[in-house]
Every structure is written in structure tokens, then in C-alpha cells.
DNA sequence: AATAATTTGCGAATGACTTGCAAATATGAG
DNA sequence: CTCATATTTGCAAGTCATTCGCAAATTATT
């Protein structure tokens, strides 16, 4: 495992929320070229050590966000994204396995991946925006 | 309602699956500049006449896909996308309302939008790929 | 029909992500 | 530990979807 990969994995592992490539590129412990960052994020995801999804946010535009994934347990999380403060809230482990296999049986397809996330206003931003009445 | 908007809405209305901006731009009945297409897709979505989500596919890259939405009934659909033939399969009306309000209560946030879709191999592509054994 | 407001087309810009290639680093056989 | 091979890195230049500025054209108002 190269230095770049170790460094990226470390940031993902210790991050509370999904992080974008641009965020990683600016991160002090990631002193690698953007191409290296992108290439290794792909690598980590291929190896089952990271998860990602694409989200559009008014402030940061359309970007892919990555989070650490333990190769052992197959679990991944889903997230809520606040449109004001742009923070993520962890909704916990994915609970869609059953629903997915029901769909697989109903339609005959095989699901390789799924994307699910919420966007809206978090509790804090809702109250600070309430002044707009 | 301008000609461009009418034309776009007509294509969305008659399309069986979500369509991307690039697809619309190439569509014979859409003889408008790409900027006009993009601007009006935003407009239609703002007005509640269209729905969209961003999906990355190996053949077409990362693009936003639009589908017609009836302003009256709030329903929208979710989709499965085949990674081989790149067609969409309609999974029917969204059934996440309850789950979303449970989350809203648990976390105190307000959900404005959500994204959900599946990717994988459709029935037909699975069998034609079976030769890879 | 005349005027004001909105929309269009064009061309150039933006920003995320990718690629080619030579230099640098990791791997691993001896 | 060392040389040879395979892989990865940095750099600079692309791609590609999407956006923007602005003048001309269209639509809505009066």
C-alpha cells in the first residue's frame, strides 16, 4: 500500500462525514497531486475500502463524496445533507437489503449498487432560518 | 409558456424513461441551443413539472436525468438502471414518505428532497452475459 | 401596436475529473 | 540488500457536462 493510499484511507477513516475529492486535495495530510487522489479514490472503492455517491450541493456543486468502508462487514451508511450548512447527518446502516431482493425477484434484474440520500434543512439551520417569517 | 418549454415538456411526457440533457439536445424535436435546454430544464423542475437525479454510467458519464412530473399529484418514481444496456426500469411510485417522516422526527431535520436509484444488470443483459463463464 | 420583461443563441468560461508520459517508488527474486 | 520489473506519481494538457454574459429575438403588457 502506497503512501498516498494510506493517507487517503486515514482521512476517510477518521472523518465523521463523507468527503469530496476536492476536500481531500486541500487536506493538509494529503500532499499529492489531484490525479493521484482521484486515481486512488477509485482504487480504494474498487477494493471495497471506500464507498461513494454523487451529490449536488448549491455551494460545492456536483461532486462525488467518499467514506470509509470496512471490507469485512458489508455495511454502508446513508446520509442526510443540509442545504444550508452543508453538513451530513449519518442515518445509520443501510436497511434496504430485503427491499432490494424483493425488487430483484419482481423484475429479474440483479442489483449491483444503489444510491440513497436525503437533502433538506437540519434542525439548527431550520431555527436560524426561522427569522425569514 | 415558450416553444422551448413546450417542446421539452412534450418529450419528457412521452418518454418511458428519464432522459439526460445531452439526449434532449440531440432530440429531433428539440431544436434549441444547449444553454436553452439546460435553463429550461431547471425552470421545469422549479415549477414542479419535472423531476431529476444525477447518475453516473460507464457509457454516458455523469449526467442529470429528467422525467415528467404531474404537478397535481406529488408522486415521483424511482428507477433501476442497467449497467450494460443503459436502459431504465420503472420501480413505481416512491414509497418512502413514512420512512422519511420517521427520520425527520428522529433527527429534527426537514427533508426537502431525496435521491434513490438502483444500478445493476437487467434480466436480458444477465443472460446474454452468462457466456462469460 | 408600442413598450417592458423575459428568453434565446452564441461563444466563451467553469469546474470536476481524466489521461499520456517520463520520473519516482514499490515489490520481490536471488 | 540489490538489481530488475511492475506499479504509481506528478505534471500539464485534455474532456465533458453545465453555466454565463450579452445582444438579438420573442413574449407579455398596456
Q: For residue A130, which phi and psi values (nearest 5 degrees)?
A: -55, -25
Instruction: Judge residue A9's burial from the number of C-beta atoms within 10 Å of its C-beta, 0-12 exposed, 13-18 middle, 19 or more buried.
Output: middle
What is the band of A130 on the pLDDT scale with cuts at 50, 70, 90? low
Q: Do A118 and B111 form a contact (C-beta atoms < 8 A)?
A: yes
Mutate which: A54, A88, A115, vs B, most B CBs within 10 A: A115
Residues 6+ apart with CB under 8 A from A110: A104, B120, B121, B126
Residue B133 in any domain: the answer is no
What is the band of A75 on the pLDDT scale with cuts at 50, 70, 90? confident
What is the band of B131 on the pLDDT scale with cuts at 50, 70, 90? low
**CATH code assigned at A8:** 3.30.1490.190
Report the candidate in A27, A47, A126, A44 with the shortest Cα–Cα distance to residue A84. Answer: A126
Q: Return the nearest residue to C19, CA–C1'.
A: A35
Which tens digit of pLDDT belongs to each residue from A54-66? Answer: 999 999 999 999 9
Which tens digit of pLDDT belongs to each residue from A37-55? Answer: 999 999 999 999 999 999 9
Q: Distance from residue B29 (CA) to nucleotide D5 (C1'), in Å?
A: 57
Number of domains in chain B: 1
Residue B74 in any domain: the answer is yes
Residue B47 in any domain: the answer is yes
Residue B112 in any domain: the answer is yes
Q: What is the 3-state secondary structure (H, E, C) of B2-47?
A: CHHHHHHHHHHHHCCCCEEHHHHHHCCCCCCCHHHHHHHHHHHHHC
Sheet harboring B19-20: ordered strands across? B19-20, B61-68, B50-57
Containing structural domain, residue A61:
3-132
**Per-residue model confidence (pLDDT) at position B40:** 98
What is the band of B132 on the pLDDT scale with cuts at 50, 70, 90? low
What is the band of A131 on the pLDDT scale with cuts at 50, 70, 90? low
Task: Point out the nucleotide closest to A33 (alpha carbon to C1′).
Answer: D10
Selecting from A109, A111, A114 the residue whose C-beta is nearest the C-beta of B123 gives A109
Amino acid at each position: 500500500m502506497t503512501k498516498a493510499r494510506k493517507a487517503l484511507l486515514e482521512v476517510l477513516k477518521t472523518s465523521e462525514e463523507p468527503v469530496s475529492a476536492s476536500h481531500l486535495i486541500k487536506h493538509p495530510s494529503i500532499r499529492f497531486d489531484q490525479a493521484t487522489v482521484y486515481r486512488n479514490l477509485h482504487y480504494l472503492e474498487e477494493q471495497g475500502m471506500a464507498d461513494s455517491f454523487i451529490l449536488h450541493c448549491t455551494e460545492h456543486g456536483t461532486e462525488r463524496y467518499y467514506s470509509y468502508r470496512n471490507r469485512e462487514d458489508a455495511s454502508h451508511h446513508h446520509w442526510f445533507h443540509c442545504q444550508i450548512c452543508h453538513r451530513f447527518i449519518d442515518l445509520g446502516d443501510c436497511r434496504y437489503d430485503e427491499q432490494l431482493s424483493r425488487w430483484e425477484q419482481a423484475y429479474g434484474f440483479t442489483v449491483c449498487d444503489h444510491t440513497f440520500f436525503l437533502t433538506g434543512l437540519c434542525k439548527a439551520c431550520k431555527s436560524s432560518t426561522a427569522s425569514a417569517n
